[in-house]
Amino acid sequence: MGYYLNRFSMNRTHVFCLSYLISLSGCSSYYYHAGKFEEGIGNKIAAFRLYEKFLQIAPPSSKVVEIKFRLGNLEAKVFHRCNEAIPDYEFVARNASPQSPLFKKAALGILNCPDYFPLIPGRTWIYGDTLSHGKNMKDLWATLNGQEDKNRIESSLYAGKNLVRREKFLFQKRDWSVFRIEGLSAVPILKYPFHAGNRWKFGNGKNERQFEIIAASSTVQTAAGIFSGCLKVKESYGRFPHSWKYTYYAPFVGEVKTTVGEPGFESPNTELIRYQ
């Protein structure tokens, strides 16, 4: 009996709250507040539909930017539809003030959906040489207790069973890019948009490093499994114009394979053995 009374009370509260929202002036205000209410109590699908109705009739305003961000979050984190989430995040990033929290959250959302370089604390990866699947050489990576937009990865390199070195590398997601911090330099190892043909560079002269996304939907086979939808990124150095490295990044997994390339030639180097 208590369950039904509680259920009845909850429904009455829900109806009362929605009745109050309906009394607000303007249909767009109703959809705005009702959507946030539904999202707050966990009704994600109802909130999504109300937000869409709000955008259909609402004039340009800061509320439109906010609702676009909320829609992007629902697409990315609830429905797992990155192709639909990215346009919403882009709208926010291009229309919100660069100093606002929404801008920073939307820019991070773009880099995290899909996430080609996870920095969430507690992630681990084991890489090994392709020839022996890690028996000759393996590198253990682990994210530390940082943030999802800025964190250190501890690398433990082994030759056989002997520890060769242990060091920490700092990575950061900002300015539409994923940076690897090397001393005083921030090297962009990934850069949005994640489309084939996107090119960027770092440094100059013989020390210049050139990057290019060769493919955005490669399928890669490794000891850890087969990964689809991978970015294939070419990295070359000014001092070595006739050789380069390819790095493959899998969505929500990270780096899964590296190869060495020359004109008409690509040789396996390292690959993912295990991750969690």
Q: Which domain, by its residues, includes 55? A: 2-112
Instruction: For residues 178-183, give the mean pLDDT.
Output: 95
Measured in whole angstroms, the distance separating CA 6 from the mean position of its chain's CA atoms is 41
| Side-by-side strand order, sheet with 162-174 | 185-191, 177-182, 162-174, 150-159, 137-143, 124-129, 265-275, 254-262, 240-250, 225-237, 209-222, 199-202
Instruction: Tell whether 42 and 150 lie within a shared domain.
Output: no
Mean predicted confidence (pLDDT) in 30-34:
93
pTM here?
A: 0.88
CA 71/CA 52 separation, integer angstroms: 8
Q: Exposed/middle/buried for 176, CB within 10 Å: 0-12, 13-18, 19+?
A: middle
Query: Does residue 137 share a domain with residue 266?
Result: yes
**pLDDT tens figures, 68-90:** 999 999 999 999 999 999 999 99
DSSP string, 172-189: EEETTEEEEEETTEEEEE
pLDDT at 58 over 50: yes
Higher pLDDT, 18 or 120: 120
Q: Is the peptide bond before 251 cis (omega within 30 degrees of 0)?
A: no
Whole-number average pLDDT of the chain: 91
- Nearest one of 250, 23, 26 to 125, comparing CA atoms: 250
- pLDDT value at residue 26: 59
Task: Give the Cα separation of 88 and 190 in Å (integer).
Answer: 21
User: Which of 83, 112, 141 represents a domain boundary (last residue)?
Assistant: 112
pLDDT at residue number 10: 40
CATH for 42: 1.25.40.10
**Residue 47, in any domain of the structure:** yes
Q: What is the mean pLDDT of residues 101-109?
A: 96
CATH code, 235: 2.40.360.20
What is the band of 205 on the pLDDT scale with cuts at 50, 70, 90?
confident
* Between 243 and 156, residue with greater pLDDT: 156
Q: Is 228 helix (H, G, I), strand (E, B) or coil?
A: strand
Total tally of structural domains belonging to the chain: 2
- Kindly state the average pLDDT of the residues 187-210: 94
